Structure 1
Amino acid sequence: MDNMKKEPATSRRKFLKTSAGAAASWAVLPDALAFSLIPKPLPNEPTSMATGKSLIGTYGEWAASLAKNIPSLSFRQTKWTNIKTWQKEALAKTNELMCKPDMGKAPVVTVEKKYVYDGLDIEELSWKLPYGRPTKAYFLKPQGAQKPLPAILALHDHGGNKYFGKRKIVRLADDMHPLLVEHQEHYYGGKAWANELAKRGYAVLVHDVFAFESRRVLYEEVAGFTYGPLKTDSKTDADPEKSENIQAYNAWAGEHEHVMSKSLFCGGTTWPGVVLAEDQVALDILSNRPEVDKNRIGCAGLSGGGLRTAYLGGLDARIKCAVCVGFMSTWDDFTLHKSFTHTWMLYVPLLPNYLDFPEVLGIRVPLPTMIQNNNDDDLFTLPEMTKADSILREIFVKAGAGDKYQGKFYDGEHKFDQPMQKDAFEWFDKWLS
C-alpha cells in the first residue's frame, strides 16, 4: 500500500456539485460518486416538470408521459386480484426484458484460502463463469459455527469504484488499503457491515459482480480506443494497488460504462440481466453450503448493492428477506431528474411500460422487505423516493401483508451508517432467526 495523501470524499462531492468540468467529463456518472448538478428545489417548491426543467429539456414531460401512471402489470391495477397470477405474469415479463445470459451448469467452487479473523471463519473462494476471468468471493461465518445458519448474500456497492468490489464491505486484516478505509468511513460509518452481520450469527457471502474487482475489464483486454477519455495507450495494468492508479482506473471505467452497456444490448442481453444472472449463481453457491439454512436467506446492499437487491429480491423467491438501501425511486425520477447520476446497471429497456421501478422489488410480496432512504440523497429526489415508498406500501397492503413491509427515511446523504445497519440487522433477525 502507498502513502499517497487521500482526497476527502467530501471534497470530491463539492467538486462534482460545483465544477462545470464534472458534467463535461463524465458522460454517465456512476452512482455513489455522482451527485446532482441541479440545484435542489427550495422548500415547498413544486418539482413537477410543468414548472421546472428536465434533463432532456422540453422533451421531458412528453417522455415521462409515454409510460402510464399505473403501468399495465402493476399490482395496483384493479384487474389484479390474485397475487399468484399477477406474480407469474410480472415475473415472466421482467425476465423476458432483462434477457439474462445462460450461465450453464453450476460452477465448481474452489477454496483458495481459509483463516480466522475478527472472530470469524473466513474462506476466500473462486468460481468460473462461462465468460470473463474467475469470480472471487469471501464466505464468513461465526468462528466454529456448524449448525445451519441464516444467511445473507451481501451485495457490494457501485460507488464509481470498479477497481474494488467485495472488499468494500468486508475487513479481512488489520491493515487495509487507505481507499477502502476511506470508503467504509464515508458510506458505512467505519464498519465492514458484512463482518458485523456474520458476527451476529449469519453466514455471509460477498462476491465480485460483473465488471468489478476480479471481474473488472483490464486495459490490456480492450482495443480501439485511440482518442478521448477512453484511450489506453498511456495506461497500464501494472502496480494496480497504487492509489493514483486505482483512481485513474475508476475514472476510465466510468467512461467505459456506456460502451459496455451498448455492446451488451447488441449482444442480446442487458447489464441488469447479466448482474442478476451472476448474483443468482452466487445465491446458488450460498444455498448449497452445508452451514446454511436455505430457507432462511436474505440479501442487502447500499446504492449499486441496493439496485442489485431490487432485482434479485424481486425476481428470486429464495430471498426470504430483503433490505434495499439507498436505491429506491421511480422511473419518473430517472426520466426527468436523475438518469445521469446512475450506472447503466439500472436500465432495462421497455420495462417502465409494465412496472414502475419499485414494483420490480414488489413482485416478492408478501416476503419481508425493508427500504432505507436518506432524505438528502443527491442521487434521487425526495418526492419520488416518497412516491416509491407509497407504491410499495400499497402493494403490500393490497396483498394483506402490510406488516411485511417497512420503508424508513433517515437524515443525511447517501450512506448505510450504523443506525441504518442496526435497523436492517434487526429486520433480518425478526424474519430469519
Structure 2
Amino acid sequence: MKPENPEENNERREFLKTSLTAMAIPFSFNVNAISNFIPMENIVSENAQLPDKSIIGDYGSWAASLLKPVPPLSFRDPKWKDLTAWKKEAYEKAQELIASPPKSPLPKVTVDKKYIYDGLEIEEISWQLPYGRKTQAVVLKPQGATKPLPAILGLHDHGGKKYFGYRKIVKTSDDQHPLLVEHRNSDYSGIPWANEVAKRGYVVLVHDTFTFGSRRVMYEDVAGLDWGDVSTAGKSDKDPEKSENIEAYNQWSGAHEHVMSKSLFSAGTTWPGVFLAEDQIALDILEQRQDVDPQRIGCGGLSGGGLRTVYLGGMDPRVKCAVCVGFMTTWTDLILTKSVTHTWMTYTPLLPKYLDFPEILGLRVPLPTLVQNNNQDELYTLPEMKKADKVLGDVYAKAGAKDKYLAKFYDGQHKFDAAMQKDAFDWFDKWLK
C-alpha cells in the first residue's frame, strides 16, 4: 500500500474526526405570521452580522439569511403558550422530516458469550434486523447485582473510524487493538467510559449502529461497482484486523458517505432517521431486560454519539436523562463555516426551516439534559456553541424547567476526557438514581 503523507493524513483525520447517533401529520403555516413575533429590523440586523466569507463563498450570507432567527416551530416563539400543544406539532414535523424507515419488530436477541471482566458481568449479544448483517452489542453491569438497575444506552462515536463501533468505548479484555488504545487516549483520557459508568451501578448497553463495526458496509458487497477504488482496498481484507487494513477501510468508508447519504435520500429516508430507528431498537432491547428499571434509562455519547443523542434524546421520551458531548451548534454554523468538518450523518433536509439544530434535542423538555462543549473544539465555532446553549436554555426556561438543563464548557479540543466523564456520570446519578 502506498505510504501516506503525514500532513495529508492529519488533514484527512481532521476532516473525518466526527465525520464523524411513523405517522406524520401534514403541516402548513403562514410564513408572514412569524413577523408578528420577530421585528423585521431584528432579522435584518442578524443577517447583517454574518461574515462576508464562507465555505460556500459569496453564497454564505444569502444561505444563512434563509433561516429565521426564531423558526416557526421553535418553542421560543411567543405564539407558543402551551408546552404540550407545541411538543405535539413540533414532534410530528420532526418525525415527518427525519423520515425513519418503518420500525422493525423486536428482534430475537442471542447471548453469544458471558463472562466476568474488570469487576463487571459482561454479555456479548447480537440481533438481526431486516436489513444488513447482524448487530453486535455488549451489555455491562456490576458483578453481583441482584435487583433492577438504572440503565444507559452508550452511543459510540464516529471519529472517522467506521471499522470499529461499540469497541471504541468498551473494554472487554486486556488484549486491546492498538488503534483502539490510540483512539481512547486521544478522545477519552484512555478510559473505556462505558465500563466506568457501569461500575457506578448501571446496566450499560453499547451496540454497533448503521455503517459501523458489525453493521459496516463490506468491500465484497460493493466490489465491481464503478464508484471508487474498491478492488485495491479489498485486497487487504484477508486480515481485516491488521492496522494498515483498518486504516485503509476507514479512508474508503469515509469516501463512501456521500454515496450512502444520497442513496438514503433517494429511498425517502435520512441517515439520522436510520440511526434513530436502530437506536430505538437497542432501547427496546435494553428496557425489556429483567435487570433494568425501564423508568430510569439515559443515553449519551461523544461526537457522533452526541449527534445520535440529539436525535434519540429529542425524539424518544423513554430517555429520561440525556448527555450530549461534543456535538452542539447551530445550523448557521454549519452553513457558513463547519459543514466541511462534519459527516453526512448530521443532516435532515428541510428540518432547519422549522427548528434550529439544538431545538431537536429541545423536543425532550422538560426531561433532564446535559450538553458538554469544548472551547477549542475544531468542529464548531465557539460563538455558535454559545448561541446553541442560549437557545436550549431559553426553551427550558420557558417550560419552567431551568434546573433540568445544564451546558458546560471545557478548555481543550474535541474530547470526552476524565473531567467531563465525571460531570456526565454525576448528571446521570442526579437524575437516574
Q: CA deviation at 1:211?
A: 0.2
- What is the identity, as a one-letter code, of the residue corresponding to 2:231? D
- What is the identity, as a one-letter code, of the residue corresponding to 1:148? P
How many Å separate the matches in 2 of 1:239 and 1:345?
Answer: 28
Q: Deviations over 1:121-148 (max 9, x none)?
A: 0000000111000000000000121211
- What is the identity, as a one-letter code, of the residue corresponding to 2:16? P
Cα distance change of structure 1 residues 349 and 224 upon mapping to structure 2, 3 Å threshold = farther
Equivalent pairs, count: 403
1:233 is matched with 231
Quick check: 2:18–2:343 contact (8 Å CA) kept in 1?
no
Q: Deviations over 1:296-348 (max 9, x none)?
A: 00000000000000000000000000000000000000011100111111100
- What is the identity, as a one-letter code, of the residue corresponding to 1:232? V
**SS, match of residue 344 in structure 2:** coil
**SS, match of residue 265 in structure 2:** helix
1:429 is matched with 429
2:299 is matched with 299
How many Å separate the matches in 2 of 1:391 and 1:362?
Answer: 9
2:54 is matched with 54
Pair 1:327 & 2:313 matched: no
1:389 is matched with 389
Cα distance change of structure 1 residues 78 and 120 upon mapping to structure 2, 3 Å threshold = same
Q: CA deviation at 1:118?
A: 0.2
Cα distance change of structure 1 residues 206 and 50 upon mapping to structure 2, 3 Å threshold = closer
How many Å separate the matches in 1 of 2:51 and 2:65?
Answer: 16
- What is the identity, as a one-letter code, of the residue corresponding to 1:233? S
2:258 is matched with 258
Identity %: 64
How many Å separate the matches in 2 of 1:135 and 1:33?
Answer: 22
Q: CA deviation at 1:294?
A: 0.3
**SS, match of residue 338 in structure 1:** helix
Quick check: 1:49–1:61 contact (8 Å CA) kept in 2?
no
Q: Higher mean Cα deviation, 163-172 or 101-110?
A: 101-110
2:40 is matched with none
Pair 1:311 & 2:297 matched: no
Quick check: 2:233–2:252 contact (8 Å CA) kept in 1?
no
2:360 is matched with 360
How many Å separate the matches in 1 of 2:189 and 2:89?
Answer: 41
**SS, match of residue 419 in structure 1:** helix
Quick check: 2:115–2:121 contact (8 Å CA) kept in 1?
yes
How many Å separate the matches in 2 of 1:240 and 1:182?
Answer: 18
Quick check: 2:52–2:61 contact (8 Å CA) kept in 1?
no
How many Å separate the matches in 1 of 2:233 and 2:263?
Answer: 22
Cα distance change of structure 1 residues 247 and 49 upon mapping to structure 2, 3 Å threshold = farther
2:38 is matched with none
How many Å separate the matches in 2 of 1:33 and 1:360?
Answer: 20
**Aligned-pair RMSD on alpha carbons?**
1.9
Q: CA deviation at 1:103?
A: 2.8
1:30 is matched with 16
Quick check: 1:29–1:254 contact (8 Å CA) kept in 2?
no
Cα distance change of structure 1 residues 331 and 274 upon mapping to structure 2, 3 Å threshold = same
1:348 is matched with 348
Q: CA deviation at 1:32?
A: 3.1
TM-score of the pair, normalised by structure 2: 0.90
2:271 is matched with 271
Quick check: 2:297–2:321 contact (8 Å CA) kept in 1?
yes
Residues 125-140 of structure 1 aligned to structure 2 (within 5 Å): 125-140=125-140
Q: CA deviation at 1:402?
A: 0.2
**SS, match of residue 79 in structure 1:** coil
Q: Deviations over 1:242-273 (max 9, x none)?
A: 00000000000000000000000111111100
How many Å separate the matches in 2 of 1:103 and 1:65?
Answer: 36
How many Å separate the matches in 1 of 2:193 and 2:89?
Answer: 36
Quick check: 2:193–2:421 contact (8 Å CA) kept in 1?
yes
Give the structure with the higher percent helix: 2
- What is the identity, as a one-letter code, of the residue corresponding to 2:214? S
Cα distance change of structure 1 residues 96 and 204 upon mapping to structure 2, 3 Å threshold = same
- What is the identity, as a one-letter code, of the residue corresponding to 2:229? K
How many Å separate the matches in 2 of 1:122 and 1:312?
Answer: 25
Q: CA deviation at 1:233?
A: 1.6
2:37 is matched with none
Q: Deviations over 1:41-75 (max 9, x none)?
A: xxxxx998744410101110111111211111000
Residues 117-266 of structure 1 aligned to structure 2 (within 5 Å): 117-226=117-226, 230-236=228-234, 237-266=237-266
1:41 is matched with none
How many Å separate the matches in 1 of 2:65 and 2:168?
Answer: 39
How many Å separate the matches in 2 of 1:156 and 1:338?
Answer: 22
1:4 is matched with none
2:377 is matched with 377
Q: CA deviation at 1:33?
A: 6.7
Residues 91-106 of structure 1 aligned to structure 2 (within 5 Å): 91-106=91-106
Q: Give ranges in structure 1 of 5+ residues lacking alignment.
A: 1-6, 35-45
How many Å separate the matches in 1 of 2:266 and 2:348?
Answer: 14
Q: Higher mean Cα deviation, 215-224 or 203-212?
A: 215-224
TM-score of the pair, normalised by structure 1: 0.90
Quick check: 2:168–2:180 contact (8 Å CA) kept in 1?
yes
2:289 is matched with 289
2:413 is matched with 413
Quick check: 2:51–2:61 contact (8 Å CA) kept in 1?
no
How many Å separate the matches in 2 of 1:49 and 1:254?
Answer: 34
How many Å separate the matches in 2 of 1:101 and 1:376?
Answer: 36
Q: Give ranges in structure 2 of 5+ residues lacking alignment.
A: 21-45
How many Å separate the matches in 2 of 1:83 and 1:427?
Answer: 24
How many Å separate the matches in 1 of 2:47 and 2:201?
Answer: 44
- What is the identity, as a one-letter code, of the residue corresponding to 2:100? K
